[in-house]
Structure 1
Amino acid sequence: MYHTWMRFFTPSPLHRRLGLVCLGVGLQHGTLPTVGPRTLDHHVAVVISAGSGWYRFPDGRRTTVTAPALLWLTPGVPHHYAPDPGTGWDEGFVDFTGPVTATYTELGHIEPDRPVVPLADAGGPRSVIGRIARAARRGNPLLEVETSAAVHELLVALRRARADTNADGDLVLEALARDACRPLTVAEHAARHGMTPAELRTAVRRGAGCSPKDYLLGIRLGRAKELLAATELPVAAVARRVGYDDPAYFSRLFTRRVGTAPVRFRAQQGRTVPGGWSTRIPDAEHPPTIITGHV
């Protein structure tokens, strides 16, 4: 015995230009029938929040699936799976497609080579799937845009929910973020954590989907933008605060990555207010409280 609810959509060519669109959503539980063997031309994220079952790889190997878990069904890859007939399982699925999936795959959010992913908690992803299901009501004029935005959110939620996101890689990312603006090389960062540069690259790639250099640079440039927009510090002082002793090198790097020079960015984005923000350095970890009314 099983229960199933599902909706499928056909986004217009205009909506497909969003880069990532939802093709369907479903909520099912119980002793669901076996799926496959079959091959799809789009992606499906199957979130299993209760129960257990099995998944068979294209080479014939079979592995146990125990909730909470994620099944990645990727285009062109045969898949074959089912819940245990005695226990069944509780699943929510989302079908999606679009060129942006290639970028999410490169960042490690979608893992074609790991179709069965243990999750630490299915609550976050299931909450997003629930919102997609509610958006799927008939007559919703924002259906395609709303569900497209939710698929982005789902991919983030699935990344956060992975059982390995609390491994050492995340601790390394936190430490790198704290020390990002110190004038340290990638090798020096690795040594501080008792790692080789190759081990650090692996940990950062697994946790953030990019190299340590790009991860550190993103934090440094973000901080530099905050200082340029909210303070009157000279560009050379901003460079030093984000880890660059050579202001000319910092300006060239900022211009190349941001697309505009630091002084021009400040002119476009500057929000300095005499006696206010311009008198102190904004703290990203402790934003000010915005008072909307009087007590």
Structure 2
Amino acid sequence: MYHTWMRFFTPTPAHHRLGLACLGVGLQYGALPTVGPRTLDHHVAVVISAGGGWYLTPDGRRTTVTAPALLWLTPGVPHHYAPDPGAGWDEGFVDFTGPATATYTELGYIEPERPVVALSDASGPRAVIGRMARAARRGNPLLEVETGAAVHELLVALRRARADLAPDGDPVLQGLARDACLPLTVADHAARHGMTPAALRAAVRRGAGCSPKDYLLGIRLGRAKELLAATELPVAAVARRVGYDDPAYFSRLFTRRVGMPPVRFRAQQGRTVPGGWSDQVPDPADPPIIGWAHSTDVG
């Protein structure tokens, strides 16, 4: 005896151009039947939240699957798997495709070479799949866009739930973020962490999906944008604040990556306001209240 619920969709070409298109979503539990051997032309994320089973690799190696776990089914790669015949398992699956899958693979969010991935907790990804299942109600006019957007969210949730990675970055990434605006080379950063530059590159690629140089540059340019938008500091002073002694080099780098010079970015985004710029992350559950209630407090 097993229990299955699933829906499948046929997004239009326009929906595919959004980057990711959801082709189907399902929830199953129990002693489910064996899947495969088969080969698909799209991606599937199978999230196992309870129970266990096995996965057979194309070269014949049998891997034990123990919840919480993720099965990556990737296009053109044969797969063959099943829950334990007795207790079975609890799974949620999402079929998806689109040009953005190549970039998510490059960034390490999709891992074709690791078909079985241990998760620290399946609750986050399962919550996203649950919302996709609710969006799949008959007659939902937002179906394709809503589920397609949720695939992006699912990939982030799966990356955050990987058991071999800390949810918000390992100490190396946190240290790089802390020191990003110091005038240090990649080799300097590696030495501060007691690593070789090659080891640092591997750690950052694994944790952030990019090179240390790009990781540091993203943080520096983000800080530079904040200073340009919220202060009247000269561009040269902004450059020094984010680790560049040569303002001309900073301006060229900013222009190449942002698409406009720093002075033009400031002209578009500048918004110096009374009270200054806050570094504190706002709490959406406790927003400021502006209006009649405040005006009546003055007496």
TM range (shorter): over 0.9
Cα separation, 1, equivalents of 2:288 and 2:113: 49
Note if contact 1:169-1:206 (Cα within 8 Å) is conserved in structure 2: no
- Who is 1:84 aligned against? 84
Note if contact 1:21-1:147 (Cα within 8 Å) is conserved in structure 2: yes
Indicate whether 1:23 and 2:50 are aligned.
Answer: no
Deviations 1:116-141 (A, max 9, x none): 00000000000000000000001100
Deviations 1:41-100 (A, max 9, x none): 000000000000000000111010000000000000000000011120000000000011
Unaligned runs of 5+ in 1: none
Counting matched residue pairs gives: 290
Residue 276 of structure 1 deviates from its aligned partner by 3.1
User: Structure 1 length normalisation: TM-score?
Assistant: 0.95
- Who is 1:37 aligned against? 37
Note if contact 2:160-2:168 (Cα within 8 Å) is conserved in structure 1: no
- Who is 1:157 aligned against? 157
Note if contact 1:230-1:282 (Cα within 8 Å) is conserved in structure 2: no
Deviations 1:175-225 (A, max 9, x none): 111111111110110111111000000000000000000000000000100
Residue 15 of structure 1 deviates from its aligned partner by 1.1
- Who is 2:297 aligned against? none
- Who is 1:276 aligned against? 275
Question: What is the root-mean-square deviation of aligned Cα atoms in Å?
Answer: 1.6
Cα separation, 2, equivalents of 1:234 and 1:140: 52
Q: Percent of pairs identical after alignment? A: 84
Counterparts in 2 of 1:169 and 1:190: CA distance versus 1, 3 Å: farther
Cα separation, 1, equivalents of 2:58 and 2:287: 55
Runs of 4+ in 1 over 3 A off after TM superposition: 285-290
Cα separation, 2, equivalents of 1:172 and 1:203: 8
- Who is 1:13 aligned against? 13
Residue 2 of structure 1 deviates from its aligned partner by 1.1
Indicate whether 1:264 and 2:264 are aligned.
Answer: yes
- Who is 1:147 aligned against? 147
Residue 240 of structure 1 deviates from its aligned partner by 0.8
Cα separation, 2, equivalents of 1:167 and 1:125: 13
- Who is 1:166 aligned against? 166
Counterparts in 2 of 1:110 and 1:241: CA distance versus 1, 3 Å: same
Counterparts in 2 of 1:174 and 1:60: CA distance versus 1, 3 Å: same
Indicate whether 1:291 and 2:288 are aligned.
Answer: yes
